[in-house]
Amino acid sequence: MAGVTDTVFRRLIRDQGGCGLIMTEFTSSHGVVASKGGRKPTRTFRYLYFEPSEHPISAQLFGSDPQVMADAARVCQDLGFDAVDINFGCPVNKVVKCNGGSGLLRDLPLVEQILRQVRSAISIPLTMKFRAGWNDRELVHVQMGRLAEDCGLQAVALHPRTREQGYSGISDWTRIAELKSAVGIPVIGNGDITTPADALRMAAETGCDAVMIGRTASSNPWIFRQIQEHLATGTCFQPTDHDRYALMKTYYAMLGDRGEADAAGKMKQFATYFTHGIRNGSRLRVAIYQSKDVSAIMEAVDAFFDNELQAVA
């Protein structure tokens, strides 16, 4: 979710209700330590910026140097985060080449060193997210979970695809069930949850203690509220085009309030997500992509919904 879950998006999610814990974009531990030393203060700490309304919030770190990871986790604790999460799941080449993310799934002794040093460096909860393994022949999800438990982590989250799969294919939820059976700490399931029914089915099939949602939240920020309502009543809120219009206006206004340097760029990026499911949404996307600045984008959004909402009134 790099480039997506910044403070503005996280607050938008929090405002929709239902989300128990939110997490930052994954952040380089080396960048955190260097920034703390005053050498690169802006870019990395923008990733870690959060507002009081975002609590509870976890800082997500990646890296492969145990001492640097421990130092970065200590910085996050000092910044006021409620927890630290270590990312052993990212499959992106530039991260894996540096032995970060899922690259560490091939070096469990180093994983253990990182976990022990980070755990000893902070007093707030420590969790980790990981994939099932490097490929289907090198599955390590059970070993990773047991390592986490042995090292004193409070919970683990499993995305059951392998690094080799990337985001293709189907998540094998049986691996989440295997992990849950192997450890005593809470297990969070992740992968291919696109509807409230999916979340309930994952919990029923795997016994997981919670679910984590990433990509679906981009196009459906109401997913957490929907899961909570579906769990309680069997039915849930279904957003109308009016709701999507209000959401876009709210998000775009929040970008403006924050003074984002590339607010127009962010608006264009999120137009792809937020127009999902809108009647004639492709027309709105084209209008937004062709707009040159923030005011033109806002005018395009207002004009589109004025026409579309009148057409269905």
* 247 and 187 in a common domain: no
What CATH number does residue 180 fall under? 3.20.20.70
> What pLDDT, on a 0 to 100 scale, did the predictor assign at position 311?
62
Are 259 and 123 members of one domain? no
Tell me, yes or no, whether 226 lies in a domain: no
* Domain termination residue (choose one: 190, 220, 250): 220
- Reported pTM: 0.90
Both 182 and 274 in one domain: the answer is no
Residues 23 and 108 in one domain: yes
Q: Please answer whether residues 80 and 56 qualify as being in contact, where contact means their C-beta atoms are separated by less than 8 angstroms.
A: no
Which parts of the chain register pLDDT below 70?
1, 37-43, 258-261, 310-313
65 and 184 both lie in a single domain: yes
Structural domain contains residue 232: no
Is residue 94, in this structure, part of any structural domain at all? yes
* Distance of alpha carbon 71 from alpha carbon 132, whole angstroms: 27
Looking at residue 215, its pLDDT comes to 87
Same domain, 52 and 158: yes
**Structural domain harbouring 111:** 7-220
In a domain, 130, yes or no: yes
Cβ contact 50:7 at 8 Å? yes
Strand partners, 157: 129, 188
90 is catalytic: yes
**Is 236 a domain residue?**
no
- Give yes or no: residues 196 and 251 share one domain: no
In a domain, 227, yes or no: no
Whole-number pLDDT of residue 187? 98
Tokens of 115: 């976990």
Residues 127 and 173 in one domain: yes
Predicted pLDDT of residue 37:
57
Of the candidates 76, 90, 151, 208, the residue annotated as catalytic is 90
Q: Does residue 198 lie in a domain region? A: yes
Residue with token string 């952040």: 27
Number of domains in the chain: 2
* 275 falls within a domain: yes
